Each structure stands twice: as structure tokens, then as C-alpha cells.
A and B are shown apart, each in its own frame.
Chain A
Amino acid sequence: MSDIAIKVNNISKRYRIGLKEELHDTFFEAATSWIKSPITNFRLLQKLSKFNEDEESEDIIWALRDVSFEVKKGEVLGIIGKNGAGKSTLLKILCRITEPTSGNASIHGRVASLLEVGTGFHQELTGRENIFLNGSILGMTTVEIKKKFDEIVEFSGVEKYIDTPVKRYSSGMRVRLAFSVAGHLDPEILLIDEVLAVGDYDFQQKCLNKMDEVSHEGRTVLIVSHNMSSITQLCKSAILLDSGKIESVGNARDIVSEYIRKGSSSTGEMIWSNLESAPGDNILKLHSARILSSDNEVLSEIDIEKEFLIEIKYWNLKNGAKMWVGIHLFNELDIHVFGSSNNPIESTQPDVLWNTPQPEGMYKTICRIPGRLLNAGIYSVSVAIGINTLDIIAHEKRILTFTIYDTISTIQKRGKKSSGIIRPRLGWETDRV
């Protein structure tokens, strides 16, 4: 018995969309088209489901185009991509809710799909009755539900309200109950579409833990999500979809980095050449922000062992302004790594021009970031300038992106990329005592 749970072969899905209405030039045209409209409308409706072979007219879009991949039993696969990439369509096809235009997929094992929490919740029934209803719709037998009933109620946290009609529940309660039922499904294959981000923070953590449990029980799980940290937490591998095609398949962290890198349009250099439109006001204006190597070359790929500089240039338009400059660094999961400024508290050596009245002119502030501080990965930088220690005049968010890469020798020595946000060299000593 092969160990492949899901095999997708060249699936494509085509839809017809509405086109803009034609504008008529003459009254006669408008009148005739109005009279013919019942027939044209009927034809349009019929066309919605009929496609001629190889027709490529304007109103046809391919939600999925030749998508193929394999999922082994017990694998947890994440599917990410921009909005409209085709992720939900793919999941709907795998759940047999809609049929592919071409291609096929084979699934081995009992499937449960979580495309929406609360499918079939009936407002007039109580929470207790809805648990049975929702559970049956999702595929559990009544015996199963009875066995797990207490667990479900406890997980959802709505014990007190379990016998009240669902129409009285708050939206958070509804969602928690729905997810709780769904979370206790026992399928071999679970398909989840963006339903993990429901409820308050506490509940979200519970959900993530539950999904983690589920994936460790050897079930095959496919997760579609926009939450990159849950993807990297739960999935080992991931697929990046773009406009209906598979862009790449691979390790979850790599795919997430690729996704973020594609999504952001910033690079290692940002220049505002026009003083009028540059960020700031009549006191200070940002001119440029760049990432430089220690040899003053602009670069966006940095060796993990090497020091690099962030250089910020700005205009002082007011004599006597007491300026400061700061940066914030974010990693590829959008975690705030650090924030720093040229305040002596944050600086290795005092920046003489900090917070002292300065004449008008162009200024340049450099921040040196030592090598072997940050771990390999993609980072984005936000830059801020201001006056009088606390007043912010301009704050440009995530305007620079750079990648820190492990040198080949480091990888060879360690065998694989290490995890962790920072990668400092620490003082290790061993003695025989």
C-alpha cells in the first residue's frame, strides 16, 4: 500500500467572469440591445457552464492551471499565496465540492474539510443540538459525538450557554463552538481553509495547539493560511501558489521567505530625490536610506559573519534643530527583532551630533550592525527621524529589505541552517573540575 495520501494531477479550473457592459453609441443600438436582453441574458447564463475546447475569450479566467503535487501520509502541508492565487479553489476541488475543468486527484483516506466554521449551524437550536448537527454534517457519527461531547464543550468554553439557542450567542462564542466541533473530527485527511484565526488570542493559541496535536497523531493535513507564523509552526513543507500555478514547493520556512520576499517590493536602497515629496516636514526631511557593506557598497545580500551599515541621509531645514535617528528591524515572520537609535544609551560610542543644535544642511547617520548578531534570513528595516529625543517627524516603515546568508563554510560545519532569531558568538569554555 503506497504511502501517498493525496495525489493531484494537472488540475485546472476555469471560470467565466462578468464583462463590462457595452456602451452603445446610437439610440437604435441601445433600444435593440434592450429588447434582445432576455435572450442575451439567457445565453450568458448558459455559457457560464459551457466552455468550448481551447476557448480563450476575455471573460475566461483560470483559477488553477496545471497544478500537480503529492502529499504523503502524515505530512502537514501548508498552501500559501496572495489573495486570488487559487488556494481555496484547490481545496474545494479536493473536497469534491466543485469539479476541476481538467485533471484529476486521488485521495486515499477519510477526508474532513473545514472550509468554514459553523457550517449548517441552525440559529434556533441550542448549542448542544448544534454540536450534533454540525458534527453530523462534518462526518462524525452520533455515537462518536456523544463520546466526545464533554471534550468538545470544554474546549469551546461555552459550557454555561450550551443549552441556549445559538442565535443568542455572541459571534466569538459561535465561532469557538464551531471550531471546537471541527477540531474533534477524526479523519485521516484534514483540509483546513483559513479557519485557524478565529476567536481571541487565548483561543487562537488553543487552536494552534490542537492543530499541532492533530498533526502529530499522524494525520495528513493541508492548511491554507495567511498567518505565516502558524504555517511555519505547524507545517514541514509548503506550496506557494501564484495566479493558479505552483510557484514552488519545499520546506515551509523557505517557501514562507520566498512569499514574503515576493510580496515586498523594497530593496537595499531607498532615495527620495524630490525634497517636496520626501517624508518629513519643514524641520527635517528624509533623503535616503541605504544598506552598505563595510566598504560602502550598496548591497542587499549580506554575509552572516560580516558587519554591515545602515546609512540614513536627511536634510535639516531649521537652524538649531536637535535631531535623532532611529531604526526598527523586523524578520521574515514580521517579528520585531530590535529597535535602536543614535541615543548614547543605545550606541557603542556617543554620536556627537545627537540632540545638539545643528545648523541647516544635509546630514548622514550611520548605524553599524556587527556580523554574527542576526541569524540568516530576510529582514526589513523601518527608519525614523525626529527632534528633541521624542518627537517623531518622519517614520517610514519597512522601506529596506535585506537578506543575511550563511556562508558555505558555516553551513558545512553545522550541517544545516540553524533556527533562532539571533546567532551571536557566545563565550563558551569547558574545564575539568
Chain B
Amino acid sequence: MIIFSVIFGNLAKIPSDGIPYPLFSYTALVPWTYFSAAMTRSTQSLISGKGIYTKVYFPRLIMPFTSVLACLVDFVIALTIVFGLMAWYGMVPTWGIFNLPLLIILMVLTASGIGMWLSALAIQYRDIKFGIQFLSQILMYAAPVVWPVSLISEKYGESVKLIYGLYPMVGVIEGFRSAILGHNPMPWDLIGMGTITAVTLFISGALYFKKKERLFADVA
């Protein structure tokens, strides 16, 4: 967060919708870190956990889900720090806070959906885990972590912004900012688009995982 603030806030002077840049980027960083960590860990979950599911039977879906849920612990701790940071800047949380649980659900949904896809793929094609690090970086810059969504709507217009909302983390991150900082209204349109993608990912991920589940013990 400090590095982001120094480089993107001071040196690059990225606009931040009128909020102190450290707060701006940190409220986005918290859900993003969760998402990226959950994605990476669930990809690895089947590979590193092979000692267990090749010896005992249990529904293998548990494996990516444990990663997704375990990262929530870190997430909660990071969230408390956000509130600390707000107190430092003398900002009071708005009523938007009550939307947070919804956003968290969306976030977990996306993470599990991608987690199921990637873990099933990674156990079959081992080099996927190298691609993940790369993917994670791309996705971070594609998400409005360091820059606000208003940049997109300014430059490309509203309809492009709506399509951009298909990337679930856009809705989550802007929603987090709006809920906690209250400078913009809740971007329900972006959240709506994101939910569509998240649900599709989740369902398709679960289906693919179940279809390939029978192979895991054989190819592990």
C-alpha cells in the first residue's frame, strides 16, 4: 500500500476521485489480495494435497474450497486495518457498510469459480501453475486497483464501462470503495454484471471439476 501510494499516488499522480490515495488504493487492495491469494492457493491445492486424496475418500471439491475459505481469515484482518486507516484520516464509514457482506459473497463466488477451474486444470496440466503468476499480474492491472473506474467511463463512455463490469472484481472493488468511503454511489450496474460472470464461472467450474474428479487420483 505504501509503495502504491508513493509510486502511483505521488509520482504518477493517478486521479483518485478526491480521496487520499493511500486510502483509495488500500480499500481496493484488500479484496484484490484476497482474490489473488485465493486463486493461487486453490490452483495449488490439488497438487500439494495429493497425499490426502489419494489415500482417503472425501468429496474432492473440499480442496479448492479450503483455500478460498482460508484466505478469508487474512482478508478479515486486512479489513480491520482499513478501518484503522480511515480513523487515521478522520473519515467516518457510511451506511454503505451494510453492503459489504454482499460484496464479500460476490468476491468469494468469483474466487471459488476460478479456483475450481484452475485447480482441476492444474492437476492435469502441471505447467498451469506457472501461468497463474502471470495471469495474476495481468488481472491486477486489469482491475481498478490502482486507478478508478471513472477513467474508463471518461475515456470510453458508459456502455464500455458496463461491459467492463463483466470482470467481477471491478464491481467488487468499486463497491468496496463506495461502501467504505462513500464518495460515489454503489455501482450496482457493475456489480450486477460482475455477478453474472461470477455465477457462470462458479457453475461451469463446479461442473468441470466434477467431470474431471474421477481422474484426480490417477493423474496426481
Chain A residues in contact with chain B, CB under 8 A?
15, 42, 45, 48-49, 92, 95-99, 113, 115-116, 119-120, 137-138
- In the complex the two chains form, is A15's CB within 8 Å of B51's CB? no
Chain B residues in contact with chain A, CB under 8 A?
51-58, 124-125, 212, 214-215, 217-219
- In the complex the two chains form, is A137's CB within 8 Å of B56's CB? yes
- In the complex the two chains form, is A119's CB within 8 Å of B56's CB? yes
Pick 28 A–B contacts, CB within 8 A, sort by A: A48-B124, A48-B218, A49-B124, A49-B212, A49-B215, A49-B218, A95-B56, A95-B57, A97-B53, A97-B56, A97-B57, A97-B217, A98-B214, A98-B217, A99-B214, A113-B55, A113-B56, A113-B57, A115-B55, A115-B56, A116-B55, A119-B55, A120-B51, A120-B52, A120-B56, A137-B56, A137-B58, A138-B56
Residues of A within 8 A of B56 (CB): 95, 97, 113, 115, 119-120, 137-138
With most chain B CB atoms within 10 A of its CB, the pick from A45, A98, A115 is A98
Tell me the smallest distance from the CB of B122 to a CB of chain A, in Å: 12
Report Cα–Cα, A42/B127, bound state, in Å. Answer: 11
A96 in contact with B57 given A45-B124, A45-B125, A49-B215 (CB within 8 Å): yes
Residues of B within 8 A of A48 (CB): 124, 215, 218-219
Residues of A within 8 A of B219 (CB): 48-49
Residues of A within 8 A of B212 (CB): 49
Report Cα–Cα, A49/B216, bound state, in Å. Answer: 10
Residues of A within 8 A of B57 (CB): 95-97, 113
Across the interface, B51 reaches (CB within 8 A) one of A42, A45, A119, namely A119
Report Cα–Cα, A113/B212, bound state, in Å. Answer: 23
Residues of B within 8 A of A92 (CB): 217
Residues of B within 8 A of A113 (CB): 55-57
- In the complex the two chains form, is B218's CB within 8 Å of A98's CB? yes
Tell me the smallest distance from the CB of B25 to a CB of chain A, in Å: 35
Residues of B within 8 A of A99 (CB): 214
Residues of A within 8 A of B58 (CB): 137
With most chain A CB atoms within 10 A of its CB, the pick from B57, B125, B219 is B57
Tell me the smallest distance from the CB of B168 to a CB of chain A, in Å: 29
Q: Give A15's nearest chain B residue, CB to CB.
A: B218
Residues of A within 8 A of B54 (CB): 97
Residues of A within 8 A of B51 (CB): 119-120
Residues of B within 8 A of A49 (CB): 124, 212, 215, 218-219
Report Cα–Cα, A137/B49, bound state, in Å. Answer: 13
